[in-house]
Amino acid sequence: MSDTTVTHGWEHQDKPRVQQSELLEINMGPQHPATHGVLRLLVKTDGEIVQSVTPYLGYLHRCAEKIAEGCDWRQWMVYTDRFDYLAPMNMNFGYAVAVENMLEVEVPERAQYIRVICAELQRIASHLIAIGTFGLDMGAWTPLLYCFREREEILNIFERLSGGRMLYNYFDIGGVRFDAYDDFAEEVLFMVHVMEQKIVEYNTLLTYNKIFIERTADVGVIDAETCYAYGCTGPVLRGAGVPFDCRRDDPYSIYDRFEFEIPYGQGEQGTVGDCWDRYIVRMREMSESCRIIRQAVDGMPEGDFMSPDLKKLVKVPAGSLYTRTESSKGEIGFHIIADGGSKPFRNKVRSPSYSNLHVIEKVGPGMMISDLVATVGSLDIVLGEIDR
Amino acid sequence: MEPNAIHDLLCAKLGEAALEYVDSYEKGTVIAAAKIAEAATLLRDEPELHFEQLMCLSGVDWDGHDAEGKGKSVAILGYTEEGKPELSDRVGDGDLGVFYACYSHRHGHKYSLFVRVPRDAAEVPTVSHLWPTAAWHEREAYDLVGITFTGHPDLRRILLEDGWEGHPLRKDYQMPAQWQGVPLEGRSYAANPFNEADVVLPTKPEGGQG
Amino acid sequence: MTQYLRDIKDAVVSAFKGMGITSKHLAKKPVTLQYPDERWVLPERFKGFIINDTHRCDACLRCAKVCPVDCIYIETTGKAKDRYMYRYAIDYNKCIWCGLCVAECPTDACQHSLDYDHALYDRTRLVYEFTSPAKPIPCHKETRLEQGYYVPNADEERAKLAAKKEAELKKAEDETAAPDPSPDEGKVE
Amino acid sequence: MESITGLLTKIFGDGMSPMALLISGGLTMALIMSLVMAMCAIVFTWMERKVAGFLQSRYGPMRVGGFHGVLQPVADMLKILGKEDIIPDEADKALFMLSPFVIFIGSLMAWAAIPFAPGFIASNLDLGLFYIFAVSSAAPAGILMAGWASNNKWALYGAARGAAQMVSYEIPLALAAIPVVMATGSLNMNAIVDAQGGGVLNWYIVHDPFLFLAFCLYFIASIAEVNRGPFDMPETESELVAGYHTEYTGMRFAFFFLAEYANLFLVSCIATAVFLGGWHPIAGPVFLPGLVFLIKAVILVFLQMLVRWTLPRLRVDQLMHTCWKVMVPLTLLCVLGSGIWMMVSGELL
């Protein structure tokens, strides 16, 4: 549909007067408040209605996969931090699990528990940003600031743990870099306690606000089939009503020991798979993460935090393995090809946002500009991991 | 379904095209490049397999990788005196490969497909009509590794800019010195202000004036 | 019609609930700090600007090797006992605060400081030099011991060195040969 | 204006011709009103930032001017004055330069009929309320000019949305004030305020339930009329970058800003005069009328800020839906209902 032809009721005349109207091509990004980074969407619109969306990527491309060829296995952990800079712990986790799977190394129990606590705290932190910025896309400023307030508390814990507030480089192959500090458990439990109260506040302020529901329900519906086809994972897939989560369905680390629900979209305010469903899945996942953290804190044993039988310079046996873990955005997969050396032969990152964003090409046409903004916001993309 | 059963099924349906069974960390089948779309169709549409999701598609440059694991995996051989990377001027001769990781939500099983194509005729049929997600992953493989996917609806570079020279993830790739007039070499602010000749060694206690 | 009225009711009620929450915050004390005046206490493991304690550093080059972005520059001169480090520089333009060098350092010379606010107008000033050719740092264990630099397990090493020297001295006395030429003579360049 | 002309007569004696008196009085009043507008922008930007800050668990500006950054808006003004005035090459330059003033003047003219205190009104028009609504319609024209002249697609979107919104919301805005006009029997602002004297129970907001509803509808419509959240369609900063003033910088941008905050205060002043008894205090005799009026208006401004910083934004079609399918019928209901009420209670007889 490149041109819309509007014919008026003058067909009976000798020469019908045909009015041509053109589509408006408009660049949303790379500097645009709604694109959550440096994404460029080439949008063709007919008035307020979007006719086609074409994402252009690469503004944040650093070719970390090429850099991997020059790093050793441990060094590249630093770069995984920078994929999803809103959830570096989850990225670290994915890479650590991937390499450990190939090394077949036993990670100490304590490290496993610390990892799970960190990953779940990070999931909460990441979802807080997702929720806050989603609200911001809708024009609600205040929830964003509240979300950041709670996120800061989580970052304080991470700062005490790893020394960094944003890029932690905390996980290491075979364990974690530092042991948990003395009152780590108390702090985490307090944070969880605070978080559970704040979720109620967010629900009142944003989730069940009528305007918010109007803006998100029945908007940007992505059904399960589309999710499978476009490789959407994480809250997008679960929002479409598929209770799939790598933590339960393809367990890694020690996630099989914990009891938790997998929230999925049920179309409470509209259709299954609309923006509101994706939003509420994140909201409920935060509660579930709190549950996991409580169990993990209870079960955390004493002991090593780093695998003692691992050398400083890791050499991974030759082979190829695709390992996936559940980050806050979805399935983060590391396809690792090793040649037996101390450096990766090929590290391919299958980032969740990359596939999640792709679906916008499919669902974008036909919606209004405001809905496009809402849908992109509900996909919760991070350009760091799309462009890598 | 067990991986080797899937392989047997692929062998039965595809015959010669299913080249060999890979039993490493990853279980999968090596498929002849021309038949990959058929194999993918089979994986997706066969009710017992029903791989409705393509988890990952990655392009690989196998240059320098040998089975014993003693291959040289780095394009940067070392560093020159000035600290600049020393690149090999070797032209790669290994195959290029594509890796497909599929997952079935219905059956909960995984399977992988491998394809190897010669470097100078790196053409693989697309699977983007089967799994739309492959469209972007194939564009990425085209962009970074330089594998052409025939039948792809929109095969453009995705991460790098249009008109970029070369494919960075090839092992023999050399970064151009500049791109559209912008030097790509990072500026160093850490030029050595000192001269080795200026070094004043401390006085030795036992050696008198050094 | 009932739906229409219910929508209006929902909109009004939820809006008032939301405003209730926001207006409650009016009375609460803000959580932000007035940055340069108020600062929070930095944790022990805080990753600040990396500093090199040149008293402890023996130029083993591990930090420079492990650095993923190659931001540590070490220049040495001489060999073995006469190996001296005359430059240890960190380019904070490049540093990514990953902390690998700190984890790698065998003598804890490389450390995170608690500094973090170093905004500057000139990038070249972000290259920090920790030594100078005027006072080079000895690298060899024995030289370090002699000049009073840090060596891990200093007492043990000192004892070992003393024993070695004694043995040498004894050997020299036994042979009653001409005294050794000073080891550094002619080698300094 | 009577107070001003009275003052002038006192100073210059009877020597002035009535024409000169009228002109000089008018100019003085215009000057005062411009100053009020400038003060609005300065005070309310500071207030907005502080209110938003405290709503969001932060302080807002704290640095400039000692106590809670009171001089921050002054510093901002100085900064914005020093900025380069950029006119895009492809812009329609005449319209581009004109539009900030159109919006500004549209806002300024409306101030002429606002009664701040007894006798303190620039022009005591018989059609005061009607005049205010009429001249404030200049703003959509200014927004359309700005959006079109910028030659920027986002600005065009913002302008189209903004014009549609403001034209639409003028209807419920004016309709909501009609019951008051019916009750007073006059469009003169002074008369409307005078009719509400003698305690809170005489204010029109509690006159009857329909008038209370009319006040609520007026409040909502006024937020939309001044383009603030949740109805900030012309700006929609997360969708349209900055809407119709995307391309504006420096002084011209400051004029938009000035007009926005002046309008914010203007609609609150109208609401105060029309519904909240103007300068009449809650009880007792008229005391410091100007201050009472200001306090009421500032409370309304604060409420607008609270709404803005709490609620998400409506989509453009929902905005129209709200206007035409909810607000307009309800305001019509108010007109009808309060008319019936007055007939039943015998006021109209």
CB contacts of D54 in chain C (<8 Å) are 25-26, 30
Per-residue model confidence (pLDDT) at position B208: 42
Per-residue model confidence (pLDDT) at position A127: 92
Q: Is C132 exposed, middle or buried (0-12, 13-18, 19+ CB in 10 A)?
A: middle
Instruction: Quick: pLDDT tens for A173-203.
Output: 888 888 888 888 898 999 999 988 889 888 8
Output the domain CATH number for residue A379: 1.10.645.10
Per-residue model confidence (pLDDT) at position C188: 42
Of A137, A142, A370, the CB nearest to D55: A142
Output the CA torsion D306→D307→D311→D316 (10° steps): -150
Per-residue model confidence (pLDDT) at position A125: 92
Per-residue model confidence (pLDDT) at position A126: 92
Q: Which structural domain, as residue segments, surrounds residue A37?
A: 24-387
Q: Which of D51, D59, D68, D215 to mutate to test the interface with C (most CBs of C within 10 A)?
A: D59
B199 pLDDT higher than 80: no
Of A8, A56, A11, A1, the C-alpha closest to A30 is A56
Q: Are 3 or more Cβ–Cβ pairs between C and B shorter than 8 Å?
A: yes
CB contacts of B82 in chain C (<8 Å) are none
* Mean pLDDT, rounded, for C94-119: 85
* Mean pLDDT, rounded, for A75-97: 89
Residue A204 lies in a domain: yes
Residue C82 lies in a domain: yes
Residue-averaged pLDDT of chain C: 81
CB contacts of C34 in chain D (<8 Å) are 59, 62
Residue A192, min C-alpha distance to chain D (Å) = 20
CA angle A323, A55, D231 (to 5 degrees): 115
Residue-averaged pLDDT of chain A: 85
Coil vs helix vs strand at B56: strand
Query: Do the Cβ atoms of C11 and A211 come within 8 Å?
Result: yes
Residue A8 lies in a domain: no
Per-residue model confidence (pLDDT) at position B209: 42
C14 pLDDT higher than 50: yes
Of A71, A74, A164, the CB nearest to C47: A164
Position with higher pLDDT, D68 vs C178: D68
* Mean pLDDT, rounded, for B32-47: 85
Please answer whether residues C147 and C138 qualify as being in contact, where contact means their C-beta atoms are separated by less than 8 angstroms.
Answer: yes
Measured distance CA(A360)–CA(A353) in Å, rounded: 11
The interface predicted TM-score (ipTM) is 0.83
Residue A36 has which token pair?
């959550």
CB contacts of A32 in chain D (<8 Å) are 241
Residue A143, min C-alpha distance to chain D (Å) = 8
Query: Do the Cβ atoms of A319 and B26 come within 8 Å?
Result: yes
Q: Give the chains touching D; criterion: ≥3 Cβ pairs < 8 Å.
A: A, C
Residue A98 has which token pair?
């991937």
Per-residue model confidence (pLDDT) at position C144: 80
Query: Do the Cβ atoms of A333 and B101 come within 8 Å?
Result: yes
Residue D230, min C-alpha distance to chain A (Å) = 7
Q: Which structural domain, as residue segments, surrounds residue D131?
A: 90-345
Q: Which of C17, C28, C32, C35 to mutate to test the interface with D (most CBs of D within 10 A)?
A: C32
Chain D residues whose C-beta sits inside 8 Å of any chain A C-beta? 52, 55-58, 153-154, 157, 229-230, 232, 236-241, 309-318
Residue C179 lies in a domain: no
Q: Which residues does chain D have with pLDDT short of 70?
A: 1-9, 12-16, 120, 122, 347-349
CB contacts of C84 in chain B (<8 Å) are 199, 201
Residue-averaged pLDDT of chain B: 78
- Does the beta carbon of D52 lie under 8 angstroms from any beta carbon of chain C? no
Instruction: Quick: pLDDT tens for A101-125.
Output: 888 888 888 888 999 999 999 999 9
Give the pairing of strands B123-125 and B148-150.
parallel
Length of chain D (residues): 349
Q: A128 falls in which pLDDT band (50, 70, 90)?
A: very high
CATH class entry, domain B3-171: alpha beta
CB contacts of A270 in chain D (<8 Å) are none
Q: What sign has the CA pseudo-torsion C153, C155, C156, C162?
A: positive
Q: Which of A157, A205, A310 to mutate to test the interface with C (most CBs of C within 10 A)?
A: A205
DSSP letters spanning A294-332: HHHHHHPPPS-SB-TT--SS--PPSEEEEEEEE-SSSEE
Residue C61 lies in a domain: yes
Q: How many CB pairs under 8 A join A and B?
A: 122
Q: A20 falls in which pLDDT band (50, 70, 90)?
A: low
Map chain D to HEC letters. Answer: CHHHHHHHHHHHHHHCCHHHHHHHHHHHHHHHHHHHHHHHHHHHHHHHHHHHHHHCCCCCCCCCCCHHHCCHHHHHHHHHHCCCCCCCCCCCHHHHHHHHHHHHHHHHHHHHHCCCECCECCCCCCCHHHHHHHHCCHHHHHHHHHHHHCCCHHHHHHHHHHHHHHHHHHHHHHHHHHHHHHHHCCCCHHHHHHCCCCCHHHCHHHCCHHHHHHHHHHHHHHHHHCCCCCCCCCCCCCCCCCHHHCCCCHHHHHHHHHHHHHHHHHHHHHHHHHCCCCCCCCCCCCCCHHHHHHHHHHHHHHHHHHHHCCCCCCCHHHHHHHHHHHHHHHHHHHHHHHHHHHHHHCCCC
Number of domains in chain A: 1
B66 pLDDT higher than 70: no
Per-residue model confidence (pLDDT) at position D191: 82
Residue D29, min C-alpha distance to chain A (Å) = 38
Residue B32, min C-alpha distance to chain C (Å) = 39
Query: Do the Cβ atoms of D57 and C25 come within 8 Å?
Result: yes
Q: Are 3 or more Cβ–Cβ pairs between B and D shorter than 8 Å?
A: no
Query: Do the Cβ atoms of C46 and A163 come within 8 Å?
Result: yes
Query: Do the Cβ atoms of C43 and A159 come within 8 Å?
Result: yes
Measured distance CA(A5)–CA(A11) in Å, rounded: 13
Chain A residues whose C-beta sits inside 8 Å of any chain B C-beta? 57-58, 61, 63, 65-66, 69-70, 101-102, 228-231, 242, 244, 249, 317-322, 324, 331, 333, 335, 337-341, 343-346, 348, 350, 354-355, 358, 362, 387-388
Query: Do the Cβ atoms of A139 and D313 come within 8 Å?
Result: yes
Measured distance CA(A13)–CA(D34) in Å, rounded: 58
Q: How many CB pairs under 8 A join B and C?
A: 68
Please answer whether residues B83 and B161 qualify as being in contact, where contact means their C-beta atoms are separated by less than 8 angstroms.
Answer: no
Q: Give the chains touching C; criterion: ≥3 Cβ pairs < 8 Å.
A: A, B, D
Residue A13 lies in a domain: no
Maximal C-alpha separation, chain A: 91
Taking residue B174's Cβ as centre, other Cβ atoms within 10 Å add up to: 14
Query: Do the Cβ atoms of C15 and D309 come within 8 Å?
Result: no
Measured distance CA(A73)–CA(D113) in Å, rounded: 75
Q: Residue written as tokens 């905050």?
A: D261
Query: Do the Cβ atoms of A355 and B67 come within 8 Å?
Result: no
Nearest chain A residue to C43, by CA: A160
Please answer whether residues D147 and D95 qualify as being in contact, where contact means their C-beta atoms are separated by less than 8 angstroms.
Answer: no
Measured distance CA(D262)–CA(A61) in Å, rounded: 46
CA angle A365, A367, A371 (to 5 degrees): 125
Position with higher pLDDT, A264 vs C181: A264
- Does the beta carbon of D311 lie under 8 angstroms from any beta carbon of chain C? yes
Residue D67 lies in a domain: no
B33 pLDDT higher than 50: yes
Instruction: Quick: pLDDT tens for A199-237.
Output: 988 888 888 888 888 888 888 888 888 888 888 888 999
Number of domains in chain D: 1
B207 pLDDT higher than 50: no
Of D274, D136, D163, D259, the C-alpha closest to D218 is D274
Angle between helices D93-110 and D18-55 (to 10 degrees): 100
Please answer whether residues A91 and A332 qualify as being in contact, where contact means their C-beta atoms are separated by less than 8 angstroms.
Answer: yes
Query: Do the Cβ atoms of A142 and C112 come within 8 Å?
Result: no
Instruction: Quick: pLDDT tens for C47-70.
Output: 888 888 888 888 888 888 888 888
Q: Which structural domain, as residue segments, surrounds residue C67?
A: 50-147
Measured distance CA(D132)–CA(A103) in Å, rounded: 78
Q: What is the pTM of this model?
A: 0.86
Taking residue B151's Cβ as centre, other Cβ atoms within 10 Å add up to: 13
Q: Which helix (H) or strand (E) holds B101?
A: strand B96-103
A91 pLDDT higher than 70: yes
Measured distance CA(C144)–CA(C54) in Å, rounded: 12
Q: Which residues contact D334 (CB under 8 A, 6 or more apart)?
A: D175, D176, D178, D179, D210, D211, D213, D214, D217
Q: Is A267 exposed, middle or buried (0-12, 13-18, 19+ CB in 10 A)?
A: middle
A316 pLDDT higher than 80: yes
Nearest chain B residue to C82, by CA: B201
Residue D200 lies in a domain: yes
Number of domains in chain C: 1
Q: Where are the domains of chain B?
A: 3-171
* Mean pLDDT, rounded, for A48-58: 87
Residue A64, min C-alpha distance to chain B (Å) = 10
